[in-house]
Amino acid sequence: MICRGCHANGEHDFWEFCDLGVQPLANTLLTKDQLLEPVTTYPLRPMLCEKCMLVQLPDLVSPEQTFSDYPYFSSQSATYVEHSRQHADDLIKHFLMGEAWRREHAGGEGRLVVEIASNDGYMLRHFIRGGIERVYGIEPARNVADHATKRGIPTFVDFFSSVLASKLVESKDGLVTGGRADVIIANNVLAHVPNLSSFLVGLRIMLAPEGVVSIEVPWLKDLVDGDECGTIYHEHLSYFLLHSIEYALTGQAGGLRVFDVEHFPEIHGGTMRLYLCHGSAQHEQTERVREWQSVERGWLVSAPLHHFGRQPSALKQAVWSFLLSQKVIDRYVCGYGAAAKAATVLSYCGVGPELMPWIADTTPAKWDRYLGGTQIHITTPLALTERRPDVIWVLAPNWIEEIKSKLRDQCDWHPHVAWQDGTEIRMERL
Ligand code: TMP
Ligand code: ZN
């Protein structure tokens, strides 16, 4: 094992602090025919590199395997769509307008914004609307990229790396490519990247001298403090602190530095947004970065991962006691939101169709498939009104408020709504 962040490779550099058993890939959605085939499972045991504090899984699965047909569409959550719109507007206001920018770009080809893992174009469309001259996305999953292309957002179907960055910067292929970017966005992608150094070097290659990289990634501290073990699945290879990213940036992938950081506790169970620039750029480091560093240092001293290792089995007990208590009083329980974290939790807890016959989800690409590892059928939210379950277990607890308000409109028979909160299952009447 070699640490993805700092390249440590000693036997004693890693600590396996948590065991989530063996599980199939969380984003695998099976067809009815595939239910009859054997399922490949992989160990799910995250490790902490004690040198740079990066929590990681070994890359047992190739990214091609994960992203050839990816069932995740960023536009499914209104909360996330609104978060992204605000983010785009802020980036335009702070980094793509104003005097400094005009001076630097006098006579240039116009502003360039690049998004890595641009998904269905949920974010880039705001830059096009905002009049940014050149905008393009890089997205490895063709089925998702096609949605963006249909919306008129130029999208390269590829994995980002230092090699791709050089190729795109030097490309003379039309207006869209070529040149360095004023803003690069990389949201919810860093955790998926097997070769972190190549990715970070790629950012450096692609970034204009005074440009800004904006990265959003789940924050390990929120994951651990919120006991969100469902967020740990094979497609998430790394779990970051600001500390581990800064460590990686000063190592082989040097040249960039973090100059600002923001916290979004409500996004994906707790997200940090980092702003990076070239080491020599004029962006001053904010006080927020120093405060964040000090919070992380204090937190690490409290040895939080010792406690976290006990969470999966506590959650399993809570899930079983919740489902059995509902069964005893003959309540009909269904799921809502076939998120990857739902697959992790249900598959780890051994919940199958006998306890939860189906899960409703708004994503058409997931309909009539089966949640990998659980064999539970995924169907449209119309099933709720047709079958009127007594209890709806929301399996995407990170969107609980948005989903509750949607269910209030749809379910006039006032079912109960349940959701996971750390190692507890909470329930209330709609
Ligand atoms: P995520 O937690 O990885 O964003 O996945 C959320 C899943 O829940 C995804 O499959 C979309 C689904 N979903 C709904 O079906 N309805 C909703 O209102 C929301 C917010 C999500
Ligand atoms: Zn390390």
pLDDT confidence of residue 65: 77
DSSP run (H or E) holding 86: helix 78-95
DSSP run (H or E) holding 124: helix 124-129
Ligand 1, atom 20: closest residue by C-alpha: 77
> Which of 106, 21, 92, 12 has the alpha carbon at shortest distance from 51?
12
Q: Which two tokens stand for residue 110?
A: 């116009």
Tell the burial category of 364 from Cβ atoms under 10 Å away from its Cβ (0-12, 13-18, 19+): exposed
pLDDT tens sequence across 307-358: 899 999 999 999 999 999 999 999 999 999 999 999 999 999 999 999 999 9
The number of beta carbons lying within 10 Å of the beta carbon of residue 82 is 11
DSSP-derived secondary structure letter, 424: E
Task: Give bridge partners of residue 393 from the DSSP assignment.
Answer: 335, 418
Task: Give bridge partners of residue 392 from the DSSP assignment.
Answer: 334, 417
207-218/424-429 β-pairing: unpaired
- Under the banding of pLDDT at 50, 70 and 90, the label for residue 176 is low
The bound ligand whose nearest atom lies closest to the alpha carbon of 403 is 1
Give the mean pLDDT of 172-180. Answer: 73
pLDDT tens sequence across 386-401: 999 999 999 999 999 9
228 HSE (CA, 13 A, CB side): 26
Average pLDDT, the chain: 93
pLDDT tens sequence across 204-235: 999 999 999 999 999 999 999 999 999 999 99
Compute the distance from residue 9 Cα to the ligand 2 centre, in Å: 8
Compute the distance from residue 342 Cα to the ligand 1 centre, in Å: 10
Q: Which two tokens stand for residue 218?
A: 């789940």
Compute the distance from residue 13 Cα to the ligand 2 centre, in Å: 8
Compute the distance from residue 270 Cα to the ligand 1 centre, in Å: 16
pLDDT tens sequence across 36-81: 999 899 999 999 999 999 999 988 888 887 777 776 677 778 999 9
Query: In this structure, what are the phi and psi dihedrals at residue 127, rounded to the nearest 5 degrees?
Result: -75, -35
Question: Which residue bears the tokens 């269904």?
Answer: 334
Q: Which two tokens stand for residue 209?
A: 């001298």
361 Cβ below 6 A of ligand 1: yes
> Which of 99, 384, 426, 46 has the alpha carbon at shortest distance from 236?
46
To test the pocket of ligand 1, the residue of 27, 362, 366, 376 to mutate (highest count of ligand atoms within 8 Å of its CB) is 362
Compute the distance from residue 128 Cα to the ligand 1 centre, in Å: 26
pLDDT confidence of residue 74: 72
Atom of ligand 1 nearest to the CA of 406: 18
To test the pocket of ligand 1, the residue of 361, 379, 409, 419 to mutate (highest count of ligand atoms within 8 Å of its CB) is 361
What sign does the CA torsion over 335, 341, 345, 350 have?
positive
Query: Which amino acid is it at 361?
Result: D
To test the pocket of ligand 1, the residue of 29, 399, 403 to mutate (highest count of ligand atoms within 8 Å of its CB) is 399
> Which of 41, 1, 50 has the alpha carbon at shortest distance from 20?
41
Please check whether residue 122 is in contact with residue 88, taking contact to mean a CB–CB distance below 8 angstroms: no
Task: Give bridge partners of residue 262 from the DSSP assignment.
Answer: 273
Instruction: Compute the distance between CA of residue 30 and CA of residue 36 in angstroms, rounded to an integer.
Output: 10
pTM, 2 dp: 0.92
- Under the banding of pLDDT at 50, 70 and 90, the label for residue 27 is confident
Residues written for the chain: 430
Q: Is the pLDDT of residue 11 over 90?
A: no
Ligand 1, atom 12: closest residue by C-alpha: 337
Q: Is the pLDDT of residue 101 over 70?
A: no
Atom of ligand 1 nearest to the CA of 403: 18
Atom of ligand 1 nearest to the CA of 79: 20
